[in-house]
Amino acid sequence: MIDIKDYFTEASNISCIPNEEYENLSDIIEAIDAMSRTTYRGISVIDCYKQNFLYVSDNNYFLYGFTVGEVKELGFNFYINQMQYNDKQIFEEMDIVVYQFLQNYPVENIKDFTLSYDFYIMDKYCEQKRLVNHQVTPLKLTKEGKVWLALCVTTHPSNKKAGNITIHKKKAEVYWIYDKKNKKWCQISLPKLSDTEKDILKLFIMGFKTDEVASRINRSPEMVKIHRKRIFNKFGTKNILETITFAKNHRLHIY
């Protein structure tokens, strides 16, 4: 069993953040609260020094039966209490390997990276588990380059099982996935779509059906299906819902 200390190894533990640093955060929290009202996703601001949440949005689906106040009161114990054992083990290793990955880059570049991972979380009464995706982006760093505050976005995963750990870099055409078996990071190229494939995927994201997509791009429905299958193959997905989720979670530029 792990406790709160297992989330913060010596590699990322922060010794001190002066109280006056917290006095200038209201504008950031206000902006994030405004952003949270434009999305269905769960939004939170993680405080890695105090090991709690500075902000939690009121998206009920991603509160798992808890209230905002209950989640904030629990702090990181919320995850410890509601995660399954196997997922807790992932967190023990993830803190170290992510820190080691970021050590390869200058401090000024650390905010360009976003960590993504999938795990199961139980609802308040442990009657139902949900597979979710967390995307964590640094907001504020210490002088040593350790993450003090981070923006966490909770959404539906594009994978069907827990344990996937990836890192994306802003504007990069590659991303990194952690190979747990061999304990190393593997660089992966983001899939590239043709202009026609981008147009088709964009229309599916907008909710159009196959015949409607075909009409809008002046192609036959059969040709749209062929292009859609090519997109599935490039993304490694099996249906349009998985494909749309993959595109959003990997922030592919299709517009």
CA-based nearest residue to 136, from 53, 40, 58, 73? 53
Q: How many other C-beta atoms lie within 10 A of the C-beta of residue 163?
A: 16
Percent of the chain with pLDDT over 90: 63
Fold category of 4-189 in CATH: Beta-Lactamase (3.30.450)
* pLDDT of 7 higher than 70: no
* pLDDT of 1 higher than 50: no
- State how far the Cα of 120 lies from the Cα of 148, in Å rounded to an integer: 25
Q: How close are the terminal C-alpha atoms of the chain, in Å? A: 46
CATH of 195-249, one of 3.30.200.20, 1.10.10.10, 3.10.290.10, 3.40.50.300: 1.10.10.10
* pLDDT of 4 higher than 80: no
* pLDDT of 87 higher than 80: no
Question: Which pLDDT score is estimated for 12?
Answer: 67
Identity of the highest mean pLDDT range in 34-38, 57-61, 102-106, 248-252: 34-38
Beta-sheet pairing, 129-141 with 113-122: antiparallel
Tokens representing 62 are: 């991603």
> What DSSP element (H or E) covers 225?
helix 221-235
For 171-208, what is each residue's pLDDT tens digit? 899 999 999 889 999 999 999 999 999 999 999 999 99
* pLDDT of 93 higher than 90: no
Domain ranges across the chain: 4-189, 195-249
